[in-house]
């Protein structure tokens, strides 16, 4: 059995179990602005669950970022430069590893979600997969050649700059880049453009066309950069606005303009750009998958 924690922008989800069909305990604690308090509450929740259901062999953590994933770094397992109040330079994995004394797997929330989708969801058994979430921010988890992509840090494809829709001059809402993808299509960005809370924007509002276009540009780059075998596209915005899938697929086809000659990209992309399969629990299930994989890594 494994423990899993997803650290999210507003709440942290704790799980005990082995996968989506075997969740023994689930609870959540507020993320808040005091990381030591939140981590203490997470430890309490996992202790309580383990006391009822049994010890866990490893713990996985899927965290909002940016995070340090370099095992050779003195700040491995830390949240590093987040704008989230209070959480800058927080040693997350070290604290939880010390509390439980089990192997710990650590990655970003979106890499975790990609891993869970690959193991149990809409990307089952695909060696190359992209998971894109469009919600409060825009995040991309990437698996290439069967492995989560890590490097200098981790990919941050939500912040790439893109070709703008012709005639669209709105400056965007990202505090770092203005009109990067997140600055154009996160829920708060769309709301800022519309001047209305996202859930109140009418379906025929002019804000949706540039939003779909910006996402098609992100997917264009994804296809060319890491050649995923499928792109899972979800998050709060897509979940509540499924009518966006078709214009996104259409604009992606138009943007690629026949350059990639592959059957997967031939017929409307209905099986290539698809919703994720695990819903809101993908990140937390990803933490369970990271826990399981941490045992394999330890065994090497």
* Of residues 39 and 214, the one with the C-beta less far from Zn ion: 214
Rg of the chain over Cα atoms, rounded to whole angstroms, equals 19
The interface with ligand ADP within residues 105-164 (CB under 6 A) comprises 133, 135-137
Give the dihedral of Cα atoms 111, 114, 119, 121; nearest 10 deg: 150
Q: Which is nearer to Zn ion, 139 or 283 (CB)?
A: 139
H/E stretch holding 63 = strand 58-63
CA distance 153 to 22: 32
Q: Which residues ranging from 9 to 38 are in contact with ligand ADP (CB under 6 A)? A: 9
The partner in contact with residue 174, picked from ligand ADP, Zn ion, none with C-beta cut-offs of 5 to 8 angstroms by kind, is: Zn ion
Min CB(171)–ligand ADP separation in Å: 19
Applying CB under 6 A, does 220 fall inside the site for ligand ADP? Answer: no
* Interface residue with ligand ADP, options 198, 233, 288, 289 (CB under 6 A): 198
Identify which of residues 216 and 294 has a Cβ nearer to ligand ADP in the complex. Answer: 216
Residue 119 · residue 271 · CB < 8 Å:
no
Work out whether 235 is an interface residue with ligand ADP (CB under 6 A). Answer: yes
Q: Does 174 bind Zn ion (CB under 5 A)?
A: yes
Distance of alpha carbon 153 from alpha carbon 121, whole angstroms = 26
CA distances for 77 relative to 62, 96, 121, 196, angstroms: 10, 10, 26, 38
- Kindly list the residues in this chain that would bind ligand ADP in the complex (CB under 6 A): 8-9, 133, 135-137, 187-188, 198-199, 235-237, 240-241
């Amino acid at each position: 059995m494994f423990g899993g924690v997803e650290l999210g922008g507003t709440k942290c989800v704790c799980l005990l179990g082995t996968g989506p069909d075997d969740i023994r305990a689930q609870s959540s604690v507020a993320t808040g602005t005091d990381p030591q308090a939140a981590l203490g509450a997470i430890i309490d929740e996992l202790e309580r669950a383990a006391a009822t259901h049994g010890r866990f062999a490893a713990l996985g953590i899927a965290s909002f970022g940016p995070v340090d994933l370099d095992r050779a770094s003195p700040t491995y397992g830390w949240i590093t430069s987040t704008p989230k109040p209070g959480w800058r330079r927080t040693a997350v994995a070290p604290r939880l590893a010390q509390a439980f004394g089990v192997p710990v797997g650590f990655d970003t929330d979106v890499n975790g979600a990609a891993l869970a989708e690959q193991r149990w969801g809409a990307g089952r058994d695909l060696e190359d997969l992209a998971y894109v979430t469009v919600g409060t921010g825009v995040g991309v988890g990437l698996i290439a050649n069967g492995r989560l992509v890590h490097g200098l840090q981790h990919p941050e494809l939500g912040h790439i700059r893109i070709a703008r829709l012709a005639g669209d001059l709105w400056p965007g809402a990202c505090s770092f880049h203005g009109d990067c993808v997140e600055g154009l299509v996160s829920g708060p960005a769309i709301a800022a453009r519309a001047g209305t809370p996202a859930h109140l924007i009418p379906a025929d509002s002019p804000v949706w066309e540039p939003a779909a276009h910006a996402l098609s540009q992100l997917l264009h780059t994804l296809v060319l950069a890491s050649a995923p075998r499928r792109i899972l596209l979800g998050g709060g915005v897509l979940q509540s606005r499924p009518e966006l899938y078709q214009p996104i697929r259409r604009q992606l086809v138009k943007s690629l303009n026949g350059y990639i000659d592959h059957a997967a990209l031939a017929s409307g992309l209905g099986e290539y750009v698809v919703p994720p399969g695990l819903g809101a629990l993908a990140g937390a299930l990803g933490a369970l998958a990271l826990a399981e994989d941490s045992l394999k890594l330890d065994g090497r």
